[in-house]
Amino acid sequence: MLVLSRRETEGLLRMDEVLKAVEYAFKLQAEGKVIMPPKLYLDLPKYLGDFRAMPAYIDGSAGIKWVSVYPNNREQNLPSVMATIILCNPSTGYPLAIMDGTYITSMRTGAAGGVAVKYLARKDSSSIGLIGAGEQAKTQLSAISKVLPKIEEVKVFDVRKDISFSYAKDMGKQLSVNIRPVETVEEAADADIVVTTTPSREPIVKRQHIRPGTHINAIGADAQGKQELDASLLSVAKIVVDDIEQASHSGEINVPLSQNLMEVDDILGTLGEIVADVKRGRESSEDITVFDSTGLAILDIICARLICDKAKQRGSIDRELIQ
């Protein structure tokens, strides 16, 4: 059995490979070739976070991710998201690998945003506005940079100004792109592609902030009660989710649905259906499109399988493996 640390998973996972794996996983989902129960939440009211159990089967691999989400962890110099993945042989149930899932979570979520941009954003998109400058904003931009032919402008806003400036400096150097910190959500939202990665429980992006033709990756709302986009914005947008059931109770659409401000029938479909060409996404340069990402276990498992296969092919890891 392989036991892999975060450092080892980082050395075995590249964004271009993750993008291909995630796109393939979405296609299999649309074709009904995966098994993925909705994620199970363990809410602990006494504490400032929750745990989630995410099992799935995809393409001959089965496993589960156990992940915690504690937004205030940054005050203790800890990641707000921490995860462990167990990958098993579906024929016998034997555990093949136990690995850190924190980096995988960040990479596969970023890749999902990249796939959404590939299929839903305007082909001539060249400007990106980031609202939230944490770890997920990094992998979102990394993935988008792989699918956009030319990025001319990147703006970033975070309520913590120092984080915005650090993000602009670090990611600008990493991607050789000029990134400009801005003072308001409105400034960041004035872009071809807008990415929201905040833990907000109140809408921060309003209808008047978004121009026609914009694509939005709504990433932050991943639990009941979270919301980043105003319902009036969703009412004029084409909404694409990663999973309808999961998004309905824990995605960007969960609050508007609970308040009867929209119906499930208002959802265009899943990203997998767009990838598999079952449904059409953007049909006009004026369309406002929204990808509501809640995070799918099939993406974790397909990436864990990729890491497991690469580790075995390499024949050695930086430290001794438990056989």
Q: Which residue has the tokens 């969703």?
A: 234
Burial class (CB in 10 A: 0-12, 13-18, 19+), 220: buried
Alpha-carbon distances of 221 from 94, 132, 140, 225, 252, rounded to whole Å:
34, 12, 15, 8, 5
Query: Which helix or strand (DSSP H or E) is residue 44 part of?
Result: none
- Output the CA angle 312-314-319, nearest 5 degrees: 85
65: annotated active-site residue: yes
The Cα–Cα gap between 90 and 233 comes to 43
Question: Among the options 27, 39, 65, 118, which is catalytic?
Answer: 65
79 neighbors 73 (Cβ within 8 angstroms)? yes
Q: Which residue has the tokens 């979570």?
A: 105
Hey, which residues are catalytic here?
65
